[in-house]
Structure 1
Amino acid sequence: MTNQPSNPESPQPRANENRRDFLRNRVATSAIAASTLAISSSASAAETSSEESTKADSSQHIRIALVGCGGRGTGAVNDSLTINENITLVALADVDPSKCERTRRGMSNRHGDKVNVPDSKMYVGLDAYKQVLADPDVDVVLLATPPGFRPYHLSDAVDAGKHVFAEKPTCVDPAGYQVCLDAHERAVAGGTAIVTGTQYRRQSNYIDAVQKIRDGAIGDIVSATTRYCSNSIWFKNRKPGMSELEYQLYNWMHFVWLSGDQITEQAVHNIDAINWVMGSPPESAYGAGGQFTRPEGSEMWDSMSVDYVYPGNRVVSFMCRQIPNTQGDNGSVIYGTEANMHIDAMSGGSRMVDRQGKEIWSASGSIADAYKQEHKDLIDSIRAGKPIVELKQTADSSLTAVLGRLAAYTGQKVTWDFVTDKSTLDLWPKNMETEGVPPSDGCVIPGRTKLV
C-alpha cells in the first residue's frame, strides 16, 4: 500500500487566476480570426468522412510532425503514413532523444521516402513541442504526450495555425476542459482541423450499432453497462539520478496530473462510446473504488465503479479495473425496451438480441482499420478545405471520466454542472518550469479528499 496522501486532487494555488487569464488572453487573440471565418464543426466525423474523401485533392502534399514518440505516438504516425499518400513525416519531438531516434529509424524502415526528418528537426525537451509549432515546414502535428499536457499543447497548436491529431483523453481536470472548449472554438473560427484518438467513432460495427439505436431498433434506451476491466498495466521503476520531474514523466501513467487515472487515460474509450449512444454527457456521477495491488508509489486506483445518470433518468453502470488474475471484460451493453445492443471493444463486433436473448442482428469491425481511418479523415478534410473539428466531443467524454473519478475519489455525488461551472480543480504543477514537481503523496482516500 502507498502512504496516505494529503490531497493530490486539491487545486494548485494558481488555478483560478491562471485559468481565467489564460482563457481571456486566448479569446482576445482569436477575436479577429473569429470575425472573418466560421466553419462548421463535425459532431461525428464518421458521418461526413466519405463525402470529404471524394472531394479531397490527393495532390496536396501534407507534412506531419509527431510530439511524443512513445508507443501510442509511434503507432499514430505509422497509421497516418500507412493510409495516406503524398504525406511526409518531417519532425519529431520528445523529452527523450532516444525515443525520437527510435521512431525515426522505425518509420524510415517501414515507409522509406515518406520519412524525411533531419537531425535539425529532432527536437528534445519539455519545450520541444514549441519548436515543432514554430516550424513552417509542419502542416499537421500529432500530439501524443502524457494527457496532462494535452490541453495546452492543443491550444498552442491552434494559435500556431497547425492542424492537429490529438490522442485521447484531451484533459484530466476541469481547468484543462475549459482550455479545450476555447481551443475548439478558435479552431472552428480559424479553419484548423482537430481530429482525436477516439477510434470507435470510426469503427464500422460501432457506427452501425449506434445507427440502429438511433433508428429505434432496440426501442427506448432504458439503461446501459460499460466495462474496461483487464489484468494489469506497466510500471517503471526510478532510474538512478532521475529528478522527481524526470521520474514522473518517465512513469507518467501512475501520476494523476499526467494520466488522470485509468478511468480517464484508458476507459475514456468506452465512456466516449456511451456519450455517443446517449447523445450527451451525463448529469451526475456517484462512485467508489480503491487501490489494492498497485506498486508502491503509484497514485492510480486499480478498481473503480461509477453510476452515471444521463438525461431521462437513464443509469449507466460503469466499471474499470486493472487487477492481476481477474476476469477481463471490455465493452458495453445498451438495454432497450424492445431489444439489447452488445458492443464489444477492440474488434469484438456488435450484436443485437431480443428480449428473449435471441440474436437478431450482428456486425463485425476492425479496430486496426479504425485507427487508420481517423488519420485518413483528418488529411482528407484538410485537402477538401472542410477541416473536421471534434475536440469538444472528446473533451466532454474526457471530463465525463474526470467526473466519475472525482465522485469515486471524494465519495460524493458530483454533477456535470459542478465540474463545468464551479470546480476550481487544476492539477497542473504550479512551478514546474523552475522548481520541477513535488514528490507524490500516494493515492487518495475517499472521505479525506475534498471536492473542489
Structure 2
Amino acid sequence: MTNQQSNPDSLPTSSNENRRDFLRNRVATSAIAASTLAIPAGVSAAETKSSTSANADSSNPIRIALVGCGGRGTGAINDSLTINDGVVLVALADLDIQKCDQTRRGMTSRHADKVNVPDAKMYAGLDAYKRVLADPDVDVVLLATPPGFRPYHISEAVDAGKHIFAEKPSCVDPAGYHVCLDAHERAVANGTAIVTGTQYRRQTNYIEAVEKIREGAIGDIVSATTRYCSNSIWFKNRKPGMSELEYQLYNWMHFVWLSGDQIAEQAVHNIDALNWVMGSPPESAYGSGGQFTRPEGSEMWDSMSVDYVYPGERVVSFMCRQIPGTQGDNGSVIYGTEANMHIAAMSGGSRIVDRKGKEVWSVAGSISDAYKQEHKDLIDSIRDGKPIVELKQTADSSLTAVLGRLAAYTGQKVTWDFVTDKSTLDLFPQDMASNGVPPSQGCAIPGKTKLV
C-alpha cells in the first residue's frame, strides 16, 4: 500500500471544496463498511452536538473522552487529569474493549475523583469514536488512534461541536492535509478548540531558544541540522485468524497508510520545531534512505535523510533512523552568522555556543512538564472562552514530514507547491471492510515508487 495512488475518477481535484467534502464523507462510509469489527452502541447520532456554553463556568466540570487507549492515549489522559482541576473522564473508545478497561482501571487508581466511566460509556470497534462524538455528555475528546485516521476523526469531532486534543501527526498524506485545513477553518468559525500533541511548542527550553533566535542572539540563520536517531521500535506478528485489516490495525506502525513511516509518526516533533524556528514550511525536499533491518512485512524504512530547503536558500539537513546497535542522536542545531543554537530533544535543554566554541547561554527544559502544559492550555482556553486552534501549524509540519518521505521514497526532488496543490496521494483505504484492505505490496523503492 506504500504510495498507493488514488483513482483520479474517484478523487475530484477540480474543486478543493468538492475534494474535501468527498474525503470527509468517505471515512464515515468506511467505518460503516467495517461493522464486522465494531460493537454496536445505543447512542443516537441525532444527539451529536454537546452544549459547550457551560464550559466557561468553572463550577461545571469539563467532561473528557479518550479515543485510542494505547500507550500514548493513556499518557495523554493521565497528563490532562494530572494538570487540570474541574475535569472528569466520562468515556473511553478503542478497537479493543480490554484496552478501555485497562485505561479505566489505571486512571481510577491515579485519579479516583476525576474518573466516572460506566460500562455503557466504554465503546469498542472502528466506529467507537462515533459513539463518543454522538454523546452529549462529552465536551472534549482526546484523539490518539493510529495517525491515518486523525484527519477524519478531527473533522467529525469539529462537526460534533467537541473541543479536541489531537496527537501528532495530524495527517500522513496530502489528502488528509486538506481535510485538516478545512477542519481548522471550521473550528475557528465555530469556536472549537484544537490543541495538538506537539509538546515542544510548550517546553521552556524550546520557547526560550526560539525567542533568543528571534532576538538575533545567533545572528541570521544560515542552516540547521536535526536528528531523530534511535535503535528500534515494536513489531507485532499476525495472530491466527486475523483478517488483513485486523492485522494492519494491530501492527499499525509498520503500514504507511496508518503511521506515515517514522518520519511522520515520530520525527515530526523535530520537523515541527524546525518549521517553528524557520517561520514557515520548506520550499522543497530531496532525500534518500532505505530498509535494511525491519522484520519481514514492514513497510517502514529504517533510515531516511532529507535536505529541506527553506525560504532564503536555507538548508536543513534532516535524518531519522531506527537501527539496532547504532548510536542515538535526538535534537537540532541552528547555525547562525554569529553563533549556533543547540536544542536537545526530550529534557536536554538548549544552549548557545559562540564562534570560539564557548557556551554563552543555556536553559533547562522538562518534557514531562510540556506534556502536561498542552492539556492545561487546552482546558484553560475553553474556560476563558478563547479556544486555541492550532491544527494548521501541526498539519503543515505533518505534511513537511510527508514531503520528505515522498522525496526519499521516489528519489525525486519534491516541492511544497506540489504536495499542497498537485498531489493526488490518498493512502486511506477505499474499502474499510475486513476483507477490503489489500495486503501490503512491500516497502517503497526509489526509482520504482511513483510520485503522485
TM exceeding 0.5: yes
* Cα drift, residue 25 of structure 1: 7.1
Q: Letter of the aligned partner of 1:342 in structure 2?
A: H
The question of whether the paired residues in 2 share the 8 Å contact of 1:195 and 1:388 is answered with: yes
1:23 aligned onto 2:11 = no
Change (3 A) 1:362 1:387: same
Tell me the equivalent position of 1:418: 418
Q: For residue 441 of structure 1, report the CA deviation from its aligned partner.
A: 1.2
For CA contacts below 8 A with separation 6 or more, give which structure has more relative contact order: 1
Contact 1:225 1:333 survives alignment (8 Å): yes
SS in structure 2 at match of 1:217: coil
Percent of aligned pairs with the same amino acid: 83
By how many angstroms is 1:60 displaced? 3.7
- Give yes or no for contact 1:15–1:425 (8 Å, CA) kept in 2: no
Whole-angstrom CA distance in 2 between matches of 1:435 and 1:293: 29
Please give the per-residue CA displacement for 1:168-201, whole angstroms capped at 9, x wherever unaligned.
0000000000000000000000000000000000
What CA deviation, in whole Å up to 9, does each residue of 1:123-173 have, x standing for no partner?
Answer: 110000000000000000000000000000000000000000000000000
Q: Which moved more, 1:430-439 or 1:163-172?
A: 430-439
Superimposed CA distance per residue, residues 182-235 of structure 1 (whole angstroms, 9 cap, x where no aligned partner)? 000000000000000000000000000000000000000000000000000000
How far 1:442 moved relative to its partner?
1.1
Q: Does the alignment pair 1:225 with 2:220? A: no
Aligned to 1:398: 398
Aligned CA RMSD, in angstroms, stands at 1.7
Is the CA contact (8 Å cut-off) linking 2:286 and 2:308 kept in structure 1?
yes
What is the rounded CA distance, in whole Å, between the counterparts of 2:205 and 2:331 in structure 1?
A: 12
Q: 1:432, CA displacement in angstroms?
A: 1.0
CA contact (8 A) 1:10 1:450 kept: no
Residue 441 of structure 1 aligns to a residue in which SS? coil
1:435 offset after TM fit, Å?
A: 3.7
Residue segments in structure 2 that go unaligned for 5+ positions in a row: 26-55
Corresponding letter in the other structure for 2:159: D
Aligned residues: 420
Is it true that 1:12 corresponds to 2:6 in the alignment? yes
AA at the equivalent of 2:12: E
SS of the residue aligned with 1:388?
coil
Instruction: Tell me by how many angstroms 1:24 deviates.
Output: 4.1
Matched-pair contact (CA < 8 Å) for 1:57–1:384: no
Residue 113 of structure 1 deviates from its aligned partner by 2.0
Aligned to 1:151: 151
**Are 2:185 and 1:188 equivalent residues in the alignment?**
no
- Structure 1 residues 203, 121: CA separation in 2 closer, same or farther (over 3 Å shift)? same
Provide the TM-score with structure 2 as the length reference.
0.91
TM-score under structure 1 length normalisation: 0.91
Q: Helix, strand or coil for the counterpart of 1:161?
A: coil
> How far apart are the structure 2 equivalents of 1:100 and 1:57?
29
CA distance in 2, matches of 1:415, 1:95: 37
Q: Distance in 2 between matches of 1:378 and 1:179?
A: 22
- State yes or no: 1:141 paired with 2:141: yes
- Partner of 1:228, secondary structure, is strand
SS of 2:93's partner is strand
Which letter does structure 2 place at the counterpart of 1:198?
T
Comparing 201-210 and 7-16, the one that deviates more: 7-16
What are the residue-to-residue correspondences of 1:26-105 with 2, within 5 Å? 58-105=58-105
Are the aligned partners of 1:58 and 1:85 in contact in 2 as well (CA < 8 Å)?
A: no
1:156-171 equivalences under 5 Å are 156-171=156-171
- Cα shift readout 1:375-409 (whole Å, capped 9, x = no counterpart): 00000000000000000000000000000000000
Q: Summarize deviations over 1:317-339 as a string: whole Å, max 9, x none.
A: 00000000000000000000000
Structure 1 Cα separation of the partners of residues 61 and 201 of structure 2: 27
SS of 1:85's equivalent in the other structure is coil
The residue matched to 1:16 in structure 2 has which SS?
coil
Name the residue aligned to 1:49.
Answer: none
Report the CA distance between 1:434 and its aligned residue: 6.4
Shift of 1:17: 3.2
CA deviation after TM superposition for structure 1 residue 59, in Å: 3.1
The answer on whether the counterparts of 1:289 and 1:304 sit within 8 Å (CA) in structure 2 is yes
2-side partners of 1:15 and 1:278: how far apart?
A: 37
Offset from partner CA, 1:223-265 (integer Å, 9 cap, x none): 0000000000000111111111111000000000000000000
